[in-house]
A = this chain, B = another copy of it.
Amino acid sequence: MELVQVIGIGASIGTGVSLLPQLVKLVKEKRAEDLSLVMMAVLLTGLALWIVYGILKNDAIIIVSNGVSLILNISIIFLSIYYRSRPDPR
Q: Which residues of A contact B (CB under 8 A)?
A: 3-4, 7-8, 10-22, 24-26, 29, 31-36, 38-40, 42-43, 45-47, 49-50, 52-53, 56-57, 90
Q: A49-B7, A57-B4 are in contact. Are A25 and B36 (CB under 8 A)?
A: yes
Question: Whole-angstrom distance from the CB of A68 to the nearest CB of chain B?
Answer: 12
Tell me whether B14 and A39 are in contact (CB under 8 A): no
Task: Give the residues in chain B near A32, CB-CB below 8 Å.
Answer: 34
Task: Report the bound CA distance from A44 to B36 in whole Å.
Answer: 18
Q: Please give me the residue from chain B that is nearest to A57 by CB atom.
A: B4
- Say yes or no: A34 contacts B33, CB within 8 Å: yes
Contact B56 A14 (CB under 8 A): no
